[in-house]
Chain A
Amino acid sequence: MDQIQLTIDGVPVKGRKGQTILEIARDNKVDIPTLCYHPRISKTGACRLCLVRVNDAALKTSCTEPATEGMKVVTDDEEITNLRRGLLEMLLAEGCHNCLYCEANGDCKLQKLCHRYNVPEPSGEFPRHERVVDTVSSKGLRRNENRCILCGRCVKACSEIQMLGVWNFTGRGSNANLTSDMYDRIGDSSCVMCGTCVQLCPTGALSFQTVLGRGQAWELKKESSICIYCGVGCKIDFYTNKEGLLVKALGNEDGPNEGHLCVKGRFGFDFVQSDKRLTKPLVKKNGKFEETSWDEALDLVSSRFSDIRKKSGPDSIMAFSSAKCTNEENYLMQKFMRAVIGTNNVDHCARL
């Protein structure tokens, strides 16, 4: 690997040839503001916030500019700050951003940057295009495009990560806006509700139905876990609100899923806090299920298996295993059937 050396804000840093300035900066814990950049999608270079000064001269977008040997990068000076503030001001004026009503409040990249750069409130003198608000058509996603900054992360999330291409831009210039499929509502489109677009949305333009009215981003507490739906073992960050209710699941970028989730992992967590959930083993006595201890339950299963095996032979028993189990658990199951019960009758729900 070709190593290169450059300076960022006067500090010598090392990077690899082919890396962009931004990548090297992030590796070295140098903060450059971005909105359209996300490591999991291709580069866009559209928000222009990551402009840096290269070799005391030209301004370049650090997310797209390849770093070269001996490069001198300045990530902030008066002119750059003014440009960033001007750009953020433009974004605020273009949309309708009211944190009071926004689910992303507290986790909004635009909000953070506007605060950091002390951006004044928009004057309201410029005309603004009213865009689509669709909060009802989909069971999973809410869309309020007036909070959209057209960074294109959702478009790329759908076409590059989920490989579906539900989102795209249509229109042009100040009339540009999002479309799902052919100008359909998101709920009527081919969306599979993986929620990746929402996860990558830097503002509250796209949000989850589940969080509606249950807490803004700043109020939520995060806990990492592993998805129980299949053997992939996606790492999930579950968010609970102040009442302790699970309201949101985001893919954790450090897991094997690199932040991606499917519709089950994303939305299928309501059973966790359901009062219908089984928490203790039940045994049917006199036609009714009654709570019992694990010992009693397991003894019953063991004795019944032995009886059946004795009476009708091992092939009268089969095991059906679940994708919710890990590979190791599934292995144990078939081992148990073959070695203990003595049958090859094993199957798995993933075959269905």
Chain B
Amino acid sequence: MNIETIRKTIEKHGNGREHLMLILRDLETRSGKNLLDVKTLKTVAEEMNLPESFIAGFVGFYTMFKTKPRAKFVIRVCKSGPCHVMGSTTVFDAIQKQLGIGIGEGTKDGMFFLEKCECLGVCSVAPAMMVNYDLHGNLTPKKIAAILNSYKKKKPSLSEDCGKEVEGRACVVEGTKQVKRLLENVGVVDPLKVDSYIGKGGYEALKKTLSMGPGEIIEIVKDSGLRGRGGAGFPAGMKWSFVGKGPMQKYVICNADEGEPGTFKDRILMEENPHLLIEGMAICGYAIDASLGYIYIRGEYRRSIERLQAAINQARKKGILGQNIFGSKFNFDILIKEGGGAYVCGEETSLINSMEGKRGYPRFKPPFPGGAGFNMLPSNVNNVETLMSVPMIIEKGADWYKSVGPSNCSGTKLYCLSGKLNRTGLVELPMGATLKEIINVHGKGIPRGKKFKFAQVGGSAGGILGKDLLNLPLDIDQPIKQGVTLGSGVVLVCDEDTCAVDFLLQILSFFEHESCGQCVPCRVGTSHLHALARKFAERRASESDIDAMVEKAALMKKASLCALGQSPIMPITTMLKYFRKEFAEHCNPKHKCPQCDRSLLRYYTGMTH
């Protein structure tokens, strides 16, 4: 790429390491063939006055970037849980048939390049794929043909052109009895118009906030019992109160790196009601004395990025963001940071490293982000759903918020329904809904009269729930007592046709792919777990490998630096709790398992990921 283009791109985004993601993404798109060649990268390093190795390390970490030639359009087919259950192998089959390319291959005309990827966040319309930045769901061979055909005349660009089925409002379950608080205005307000949001009472909570003291706001949020909705369930008000005090710059960081396979709630919220997030962040900013907020959104969510950016611009114009908001002394602005395809960046300290333009390695704690976060300054990191719950708490009060859900984890929860259900999508229910209710009432049961086998709750890092736990209230605390977790609210339902071994293999390959590689137990452990699961799928395991898997995962749980390496134990033990027999059967070389065969053929030829 010529040096002038590179210089202009750097100038546009700012010459600083923290802008690296946007600069590289821009350059990659400008290349017209999804390529960041070494020469370009060396020029970027020189122009930005950074060591070349920093850029090489950065590009090597984020899976969306490649230094090897690809094609005009990169097709990324999701192979994570929900898509896998709904038949992502058939998508690869169809593409192979239509374009004649397998994973890691490109068409001769330089139009398409095929990659497998992890969750794209459109799990209710699985199986799904992404062509450059356009998401497409509900894929069938016929639909794939039509989609691919439509790209023949297109030019690569950064603006999305997603299918209608992935539209946020289309992914919400309608017509069942829910308690819609966060979803109240989804499909009602126009996400592209700030006045539409204001017309529905938007930004009233921010006005009310500014008439109160920061301490009061924190007390209300504490009193409401709001707990983090990203997965860990840490009390939000308490987290806010831990943020360092003093004259230094502080930050509100919104974690919108929704990567837990099966989770798509944040995408819908951001696409459909971006101003609610802005309001929630501003309130948090006021409470913790931060004048700047960052939203870290995964790079796959182009529509969320575009809509949020538009909303931020509108809010700035209206004086809702900027100096002296609503005539007060409070100043606040929001900037967007993008991810580059790394699940681990959902971990708050990895996210902060990624924001700083570094490899998304998690940091050891302490120090916690509240003390030393972004640029080593006090930062409060909350999930989208958490921050979006704040305005209603301020507006209607803690008591109102606590009126639904159990006392220890009040409010509503967004459950992301996917898998073998007659109706998939997002539902909002009082915290503590049961699987039975979710499956039968909101999911309208399992298609074709098939029997329920298990549900994966909480995503890949979550657990497997069998029939015995159908009545377990899915709140934050109860599942933990049963050795499972609610996590981000994923409910992936699998019917009797699902092979437990194949499913676990998919989870463990996910962890190997997404491990950052910094700490030993996770880097080596995820690789070994994947290899062990492969042995079962290939029917060359022995029963002692079951214990070997548990032992490794237990070591990882105890010794890993961050939650990623501590996670695989849960899916493994909960899966074995129900289906140990199936694993034992897979030890027999003569055992027939078409599902494992299909997966092995499609994804796992070659050594590891």
- B-contacting residues of A (Cβ < 8 Å)? 43-48, 51, 59, 61, 64-66, 79, 83, 86-87, 90-91, 93-94, 125-127, 129, 149-150, 152, 159, 164-176, 179-184, 189-190
Q: List 27 A-B contacts (CB under 8 A).
A: A44-B518, A45-B364, A45-B561, A46-B519, A46-B520, A48-B520, A51-B559, A66-B366, A87-B521, A90-B520, A90-B524, A94-B527, A165-B53, A165-B54, A169-B60, A170-B53, A171-B60, A172-B63, A172-B515, A173-B514, A173-B515, A174-B515, A175-B609, A181-B52, A182-B55, A183-B38, A190-B52
Query: Is B70 among interface residues, defined by CB-CB distance under 8 A?
Result: no
Q: How far is the CA of A64 from the CA of B60 in the complex (A)?
A: 27
From A59, A172, A174, A184, give the contact of B524 (CB < 8 A). A174
B248 on interface, CB distance cutoff 8 Å:
no
A49 to chain B: closest residue by CB: B520
Residues of B in contact (CB 8 Å), total: 48
- Contact of B526 (CB < 8 Å), options: A91, A174, A183: A174
- CB nearest to A92 among chain B residues: B524
Count contacts between A and B, CB distance < 8 Å. 151
Q: Does B607 contact A (CB under 8 A)?
A: yes
Structural contact, B520 and A173, CB atoms closer than 8 A: no
Confirm or deny: B539 has a beta carbon within 8 angstroms of a beta carbon on chain A: no
- The CA-CA distance from A200 to B518 in the complex, in Å, is 18
Determine the distance from Cα of A65 to Cα of B365 in the docked complex, in whole angstroms: 8
Q: Is B347 an interface residue (CB 8 A)?
A: no
Given contacts A43-B364, A87-B555, A172-B60, contact A48 B519 (CB under 8 A): yes
Contact present for A182 and B559 (CB under 8 Å)? no
Contact status B517-A150, CB under 8 Å = yes
Q: Apart from A46-B519, A127-B527, A189-B52, what are 16 other A-B pairs with CB-CB below 8 Å?
A: A45-B364, A45-B519, A47-B519, A48-B520, A48-B560, A61-B364, A79-B558, A86-B521, A152-B518, A166-B53, A168-B53, A170-B53, A171-B61, A176-B517, A182-B41, A183-B56
A159 to B51, CA, bound (A): 9
Using CB atoms, name the residue of chain B closest to A83.
Answer: B559
> CB of B42 within 8 A of chain A?
yes
Q: Give the residues in chain A near B51, CB-CB below 8 Å.
A: 159, 164-166, 168, 181, 190
Give B529's nearest chain A residue, CB to CB.
Answer: A126
How long is the Cα–Cα vector from A215 to B552 in the complex, in angstroms?
Answer: 38
Given known A48-B561, A127-B527, A166-B53, contact A179–B60 (CB-CB < 8 A): yes
**Quick one: which of A61, A167, A170, A190 contacts B60, CB cutoff 8 A?**
A170
Minimum CB–CB distance for B331 against chain A, Å: 34
Most buried by A among B52, B359, B516, B525: B52
Within 8 Å CB of B585, what residues of A?
none
B512 at the interface (CB under 8 A from A): yes
Question: Which B residues touch A181, using CB under 8 A?
Answer: 51-53, 56
CB distance A170 to B57 under 8 Å? Answer: yes
Set of chain B residues within 8 Å of A165, measured between Cβ atoms: 50-51, 53-54
B63 & A179 in contact (Cβ 8 Å cutoff): no
Contacts of B38 in A (CB 8 A): 182-183
Given A48-B561, A61-B364, A173-B515, are A90 and B57 neighbors across the interface (CB < 8 Å)?
Answer: no
Known A45-B519, A90-B525, A126-B528: A172·B342 in contact at CB below 8 Å? yes
| Chain B residues closer than 8 Å to A182, beta-carbon distance | 38, 41-42, 45, 52-53, 55-56
Given contacts A48-B559, A90-B525, A127-B531, contact A173 B513 (CB under 8 A): yes
Q: Which of B54, B515, B523 has the most CB of A within 10 A?
A: B523
The answer for the CA separation of A200 and B406 in the assembled complex, in Å, is 54
Contact pick for A170, options B42, B56, B527, B608, CB 8 Å: B56
Query: How far apart are the CA atoms of A171 and B512 in the complex, in Å?
Result: 12
Q: What's the least CB distance linking B439 to chain A, in Å? A: 34
Docked complex Cα distance between A167 and B359 (Å):
14
B57 / chain A contacts, CB cutoff of 8 Å: 168-170, 179
Bound CA–CA A183/B42 (angstroms): 10
- In the assembled complex, the Cα of A74 lies from the Cα of B60 at a distance in Å of 39
In the assembled complex, B476 has its CB within 8 A of some CB on chain A: no
Judged by a CB distance under 8 angstroms, whether B125 is at the interface is no
| Of listed A149, A164, A172, residue having the most chain B CB within 10 A | A172
**Interface code B324-355, partner A: CB below 8 Å = 1, 0 otherwise?**
00000000000000000010000000000000
List chain A residues, Cβ under 8 A from B520.
46-48, 87, 90-91, 149-150
A91 contacts across to B, CB distance below 8 A = 520, 524
Chain A residue contacts of B59, Cβ below 8 A: 170
A residues less than 8 Å from B523 (CB atoms): 94, 150, 173-174, 176
Cross-chain contact B519 with A93 (CB below 8 angstroms): no
Q: What 1/0 flags go to B456-483 for Cβ under 8 Å of A?
A: 0000000000000000000000000000
- In the complex the two chains form, what is the Cα distance from A97 to B279 in whole Å? 56
Q: When chains A and B are docked, how far (Å) is the Cα of A302 from the Cα of B551?
A: 81
Nearest 4 Cβ contacts at the A-B interface: A170-B60, A165-B51, A176-B517, A168-B53
B380: shortest Cβ distance to chain A, in Å?
22
Question: Inside 8 A of A159's CB, which chain B residues have their CB?
Answer: 51
Q: Which of B545-576 contact A (CB under 8 A)?
A: 551-552, 555, 558-561
B561, A169: Cβ atoms under 8 Å? no
B523 CB → nearest A CB, Å = 6
Chain A nearest Cβ from B231, distance in angstroms: 20
- For the complex, give the distance between the alpha carbons of A164 and B552 in Å: 38
In whole Å, how far is A172's beta carbon from the nearest beta carbon of chain B?
A: 5
